[in-house]
Copies of this chain bind each other. A is one copy, B any other.
Amino acid sequence: MKIVVDAMGSDKRPVPDVQGAVEAAREYNVKVLLVGDETRVRAELVKIGNVPPTVQVVPASQEIEMREHPALAVKDKKDSSIVVGIEQVKQGRGEAFVSMGNTGAILTASVLYLQRIKGVHRPALGALIPTPKGPCLLLDIGANTDCKPEWLDQFAVMGDAYVRSVLGLAKPRVALLANGEEDTKGDQTVQAAHELLRQRAAETGLNFIGNVEGKDVPAHLADVVVCDGFVGNIALKTAEGISKMLNELIESEIKSNPITMIGGALAMPAFKQVKKILDYTEYGGAPLLGVNGVVIIGHGRSNAIAVKHAVRAAKRAVETNILETIRSGVAARA
């Protein structure tokens, strides 16, 4: 299996990208195509040393920056690591694309070059939210605002496929995000999607458990939580913002007094354990679901471990043939 890795994706590119890719090649028995500035990538490989022959370099002379306009950047920068990398997948030279780069550009290039899986209304972007009881896949988190009920229905199918493939869950609990648990809750779109998912569950065995609230995501009451990209983005950013605010506030209060500082130092292993339990780098990024190719997008601030785990997620998605699962899932209601 060959995984295409964007060497110029992360904020500290190409260091974590190349390191993570090399470690993945060593650990997971996959071939890796590193796409990016050949000189810089090869220099990084030399620095790492002992690079297995399964790691190869594909030159790409351009980079798409985080702040660039996705559609314009993809149009203008045909030799960027993102466009070249996705073309590798399109031409069958690799089976998945992994990047820590500009999410919008990866989304645009994926839809443009790989195209949607037949029958898929809209590709969706998922995020694995870490909780003490395991991750919860929230989707869509921003690819689509103003969704139709049928789109949400397909997001459920695609999320279910991803969680089964990559997390290995046999019967993931799939839910709709709503303003209450009762079946009658939700806006008009969610209420209509609820109806579609009830039917689908009856027809296909999808484990649709109904509506969940915002608080049920961290409580891990579902494995897949479906919403439109507007709502998903707000939920995800709210969760990140509250975590950041609480962590900073606790830290500053502990540091405000010598006694509490000693307490904080003694309690440090507990704080580290909390960080470890909620470590986003464990899950390897956000899948883009619904295009003809496995695409995994990580945070710009990813380290080598996050890149390595993103390759692992891509490998699992390929070897469990997630694209075929999605294809047959959407065909069941085409």
Q: Which residues of A contact B (CB under 8 A)?
A: 131-132, 142, 145-146, 177-180, 186-188, 190, 213-219, 227-231, 233-250, 253-254, 256-257, 259-260, 262-271, 273-274, 277-278
Contact = CB atoms under 8 A, between A and B. Distances in A.
A245 B274 CA distance: 11
Nearest to A245: B218
Interface of A (DSSP majority class): helix
B214 A236 contact: yes
A273 B263 CA distance: 14
A167 B243 CA distance: 26
A257 B270 contact: yes
Given A238-B238, A271-B250, A218 B233 contact: no
B214 A238 contact: yes
Contacts of A254: 267, 270
Contact of A253 (B145, B234, B274): B274
B234 A218 contact: no
Contacts of A274: 246, 249-250, 253
Given A235-B234, A238-B238, A239-B238, A266 B270 contact: no
Contacts of A179: 142, 145, 229-230, 233-234, 237
A248 to B, nearest CB: 8
Nearest to A133: B245
Given A132-B248, A214-B234, 14 more contacts: A178-B230, A214-B235, A214-B237, A214-B239, A215-B241, A218-B242, A227-B234, A230-B231, A253-B277, A259-B269, A260-B267, A263-B266, A264-B270, A267-B267
